[in-house]
Amino acid sequence: MTSAGEEMHALVELLYPLCRSITGDGVRATLEIVGEYVPLQVHEVPTGTQVLDWTVPQEWNIRDAYIADTAGNRVVDFAASSLHVLGYSVPVSATMPLAELRAHLHTLPDHPTWVPYRTSYYTPEWGFCLAQETLDALPDGDYEVRIDSTLADGHLTYGEHVVPGQVPDEVIVSCHVCHPSLANDNLAGIAVATFLARTLAQETPYYTYRFLYAPGTIGAITWLARNTERVDRVKHGLVLACAGDPGQLTYKQSRRGDAEIDRVMRHVLAASERPHHVNEFTPYGYDERQYCSPGFNLGVGSLSRTPYAGYPEYHTSADNPDFVSPQAMADTLAVCREAFAVLDRNRRYVNLSPYGEPQLGRRGLYDALGGRSDTKQAQMAMLWVLNLSDGEHSLLDVAERSGLPFDTVAVAAGALHGAGLIKA
């Protein structure tokens, strides 16, 4: 995990300079880099395509942008940070006095050294984001304003990576790829998802795992619109965001509140004794609100550390690679692995010898426990599995009711299954 944490942080640093938005070459460049870690199927959806109640917008690309003083000095420069330009700014080339320019400038007075992140996706507008201290230092006078961008018919781009499982039922892991230089709110989730995919690919999971790298809101809506006929395969899901900050882990439950992924995450977080929060669903946040819209009502929750808007650095230049840590991302990855290990093994069984307690000794089941430090616990797990294997209770039910670790219950079920006492 330590090594994975360092590698994930290196991926964040690699992706950080790219100017991402809901469309454009920044998204493609991001997916190209991610594709060097896990193979991606990249989809291009044309401008104007109807996706549920939305329409794929025009594609936005930007080459350069700046504000220069009369001496030609760039006082605000897109080349220094992609945050300096209002996302989806229409092109502009003009000279104007500072008094007129101010209407197009965005700052954070409470954090005078930070640059805010602002967008204007669906309203034609242009603007610059800068530190308040930079604005305060600008003398009155004329300034050259230049945004070399294009807003034209093109495509919305998203990527998918599938880890085949033993069954076609799917778990989706979704992260958004639409934010520019923001390390925690965007890139940490991308990094954790990517390394989770790499880990699962080394195993033979029960479920098929589908990883979605899509622009926020419009990307998830586009994926849902293009997969309505097969969305019933999605049995569980997790949205990853804000996955690398120093805060405690936070799980936001699905709209259902009692979906299996909700129960698994609650169990894993509690059993791990990590400091954490479990929040109720709200129809605001990341793309869990699309997957959990009432027409789909998928069992999809959201895992983060500090949730969106819950930390001062959120949507500012202070959300940089120094703000996220390898240790925090490794911890988020570890929780995902633990949760999916439970999800993959959570079965319902039927006791094939339900009348009275079957004799375990003559089947060698007690002998198999010899020398274990948790012999008594393992014996109790067998008894609990036998008693609750009525086709209605899952192994997670057994773990919760007995207070035993899920791993112990799953091992007991495996032994009983091997002895022919239970069947799935």
The phi, psi pair for 261, rounded to 5°, reads: -65, -35
Tokens of 163: 């880890």
| pLDDT given at position 1 | 73
| pLDDT given at position 320 | 98
Which CATH number belongs to the domain containing residue 67 in this structure?
3.50.30.90
| pLDDT given at position 361 | 83
Output the known binding site for Zn(2+). 179, 185, 315
Beta-carbon contacts of residue 362 (< 8 Å; ≥ 6 apart): none
> pLDDT tens for residues 1-58?
779 999 999 999 999 999 999 999 999 999 999 999 999 999 999 999 999 999 999 9
| pLDDT given at position 370 | 52
Domain, as residue range, for 361: 348-423
Q: Check whether 372 has a pLDDT greater than 60.
A: no
Same domain assignment for residues 386 and 419: yes
Bridge partners, residue 213, by sequence: 159, 175
Tokens of 267: 């169990």
Among 345, 371, 399, residue at a domain's last position: 345
140 and 341 Cβ atoms separated by less than 8 Å: no
Same domain assignment for residues 112 and 22: no
Same domain assignment for residues 144 and 283: no
pTM for the whole structure: 0.95
Same domain assignment for residues 261 and 291: yes
C-alpha to C-alpha distances, 319 to 43, 87, 215, nearest whole angstrom: 29, 17, 19
Going by their DSSP bridges, the two strands 105-106 and 128-129 should be labelled as parallel
The phi, psi pair for 309, rounded to 5°, reads: 65, 10
| pLDDT given at position 346 | 97
Among 315, 345, 375, residue at a domain's last position: 345
Which CATH number belongs to the domain containing residue 398 in this structure?
1.10.10.10
Same domain assignment for residues 260 and 148: no
Same domain assignment for residues 278 and 377: no
Closest by Cα among 74, 264, 109, 248 to 171: 264
Same domain assignment for residues 222 and 252: yes
- Mean pLDDT value across the chain: 96
- pLDDT average, residue stretch 208-226: 98
200 and 209 Cβ atoms separated by less than 8 Å: yes
**Crossing angle between the packed helical segments 326-345 and 406-418, to the nearest 10 degrees:** 30
SS3 track for the chain? CHHHHHHHHHHHHHHCCCCCCCCCHHHHHHHHHHCCCCCCEEEEEECCCEECCEECCCEEEEEEEEEECCCCCEEEECCCCHHHECECCCCEEEEEEHHHHHHHEECCCCCCCCCECCECCCCCCCCEECCHHHHHCCCCCEEEEEEEEEEECCEEEEEEEEECCCCCCEEEEEEECCCCCCHHHHHHHHHHHHHHHHHHHCCCCCCEEEEEEECCCHHHHHHHHHCCCCHHHEEEEEEECCCCCCCCEEEECCCCCCCHHHHHHHHHHHHHCCCEEEECCCCCCCCHHHHCCCCCCCCEEEEECCCCCCCCCCCECCCCCCCCCHHHHHHHHHHHHHHHHHHHHCCEEEECCCCCCCCCHHHCCCHHHCCCCCHHHHHHHHHHHHHHCEEEEEHHHHHHHHCCCHHHHHHHHHHHHHCCCEEC
Q: Check whether 371 has a pLDDT greater than 60.
A: no
Among 320, 345, 370, residue at a domain's last position: 345
Same domain assignment for residues 304 and 408: no
pLDDT band, very low/low/confident/very high, at 152 (cuts 50, 70, 90): very high
Which residue reads 């605000």 in tokens? 76
> pLDDT tens for residues 315-362?
999 999 999 999 999 999 999 999 999 999 999 999 999 999 898 888
Same domain assignment for residues 335 and 240: yes
Same domain assignment for residues 22 and 98: no
Same domain assignment for residues 247 and 107: no
pLDDT band, very low/low/confident/very high, at 76 (cuts 50, 70, 90): very high
Output the known binding site. 179, 185, 315
Kindly state the percentage of the chain with pLDDT values over 90.
94
Same domain assignment for residues 128 and 170: no
Beta-carbon contacts of residue 79 (< 8 Å; ≥ 6 apart): 64, 66
| pLDDT given at position 259 | 97
Q: How many domains does the chain have?
A: 3
Asked whether the CA dihedral 206, 296, 184, 177 is positive or negative, the reply is: positive
Which CATH number belongs to the domain containing residue 29 in this structure?
3.40.630.10
